[in-house]
Structure 1
């Protein structure tokens, strides 16, 4: 099947799922809010209205104000934008790294496989939370991109192992053996023949990794280890409003609600993509069963 035909078939399968449609609609609304919201709000996230401290939502402040008079809508939009950027970049970098390491280890085998898998095992042995707690404060001066790099470097290993297992199976297929006998370079074989057959797993994994990265960033920012003032993220907004959640609920529930909505939407889309991209999915109605090529018996 041509790539265009396969893409249309996958899109039809995804669109047949009500959960995926709902998740996609919510995700598009959140993206529009994050990147178009600053242009429709009369306030910026750094503006202070000293006449409206801890003011509930009204026509002037659509989501109310916080304890120092900053507009909650402007703050939430900025926080959502920053959290989405971090989540998307972490998922992108970690997936690319996992695909490169896993495919390289599985295809070349031998000492290349042993060295790369040793690195994977070493990274898996590291206490991720402890590393983040120790390293993040020392890299604050470099900005939030250091947080992206750390989360990406600490989140690719399991995916790489799965890609390696899939590659070990794929490299013995006739089309890969034929390409190798024709003198096609290993890099081209991996790019043109191996990675496309792992795309369903990688796309699904990357989609779900976005939600996981946003939750990780939120947790770190909640404890003061992520995005630093004067910038904001959903984590910093939730942390600042936790102690007044019952007194001034708009400060807490708006960022929390958007976080929950985003993670739920991404998980719904990821689940639909998994079923639509996996050619071994059985049935169109009821629960589906999927297998990962190279790992199933």
Structure 2
């Protein structure tokens, strides 16, 4: 772990990504404490006002503070993105390792499930399940997004596991009576760490973009709650005349994706001993 931290510290992209992501988290969760307005407050004396000392990001057509709304939306998008990344990458690792290591009927059944999910139209499934989100159930959105982001990675993990299980140290551990979970955890998983770290970072980006897109079309986070997607959707129709309505939320969305991708690239270099860029 110490070597990984040192490698990350020497990687400029990873450092920049980590610092930027930390600043974004600080802004999202500490920013509302210093804002004079809450995300549910309405200023009936300021409608579509540009950024000012009273309203730092301006106001909406109904007099709500864009700064407070954007930070509330960023909180929701970041939390959903992290949860989806952890669940989808964890599921890909579990299914891929078990399928590749055990083989036989277990392998065939798990891969049949993967193939079935790959052909299902994700947007249609989300549209069908969208009524469950009307009562403010973001965990349903997390579960749906997680269910459609792990299959390709699971196939890659399976292929790598099939190769790794024939290595001498894995065969020696099995001959000494080590259980399957122990072999997977101690001898297979460490060799997949680089792949899974990159996959998790990419899944954060994909999940944040997917959640924002679904919320933009009305299938994700629903009013009265908000996310970056709903802020962009609400201000998109008037963005040419009032750019602050959607511009700040769109800019923060781009920064989140950029920070996560930079950090993921640095993690790959730090965890991959064959990488020549971990410097």
Interval of TM-score (by shorter of Structure 1 and Structure 2): over 0.9
Give the TM-score of the pair, scaled to structure 1: 0.90
Question: What is the deviation of 1:122?
Answer: 0.7
What is the distance in 2 between the residues matched to 1:69 and 1:252? 15
Question: What is the deviation of 1:138?
Answer: 4.4
Q: Which residue of the partner structure matches residue 148 of structure 1?
A: 142
Q: Do the aligned partners of residues 228 and 14 (structure 1) sit closer, same or farther apart at CA in structure 2, a change above 3 Å counting?
A: same
- Give the match's secondary structure for 1:244: coil
Which structure ranks higher in relative contact order (CA pairs < 8 Å, sequence separation ≥ 6)? Answer: 2
Q: Which residue of the partner structure matches residue 44 of structure 1?
A: 38
Q: Which residue of the partner structure matches residue 169 of structure 1?
A: 163
Q: Which residue of the partner structure matches residue 184 of structure 2?
A: 190
Q: Which residue of the partner structure matches residue 9 of structure 2?
A: 15
Residue pair 2:228, 2:249 contacting (<8 A) in 1 also? yes
Give the TM-score of the pair, scaled to structure 2: 0.96
Which residue, out of 44, 47, 69, partners 1:75? 69
Q: Which residue of the partner structure matches residue 121 of structure 2?
A: 127
Deviations, residues 219-271 of structure 1 (Å, cap 9, x unaligned): 00000000010100000000011111121111111000000011011111111
Residue pair 2:270, 2:278 contacting (<8 A) in 1 also? no
Q: Which residue of the partner structure matches residue 53 of structure 2?
A: 59
What is the distance in 1 between the residues matched to 2:14 and 2:174? 40
Q: Which runs of 5+ in 1 are unaligned?
A: 1-6, 286-297
Q: Which residue of the partner structure matches residue 290 of structure 1?
A: none
Runs of 4+ in 1 over 4 A off after TM superposition: none
User: Superposed, which structure 2 residues align to 1:212-227 within 5 Å?
Assistant: 212-227=206-221
Question: What is the deviation of 1:177?
Answer: 1.1
What is the distance in 2 between the residues matched to 1:232 and 1:263? 19
Q: Which residue of the partner structure matches residue 255 of structure 1?
A: 249
Q: Which residue of the partner structure matches residue 25 of structure 1?
A: 19
Question: What is the deviation of 1:27?
Answer: 0.7
- Alignment root-mean-square deviation, CA: 1.4
Residue pair 1:76, 1:234 contacting (<8 A) in 2 also? yes
What is the distance in 2 between the residues matched to 1:263 and 1:277? 21
Q: Which residue of the partner structure matches residue 112 of structure 1?
A: 106
Residue pair 1:140, 1:146 contacting (<8 A) in 2 also? no
Residue pair 1:20, 1:269 contacting (<8 A) in 2 also? yes
Which residue, out of 235, 247, 260, partners 1:266? 260
What is the distance in 2 between the residues matched to 1:19 and 1:99? 26
Q: Which runs of 5+ in 2 are unaligned?
A: none
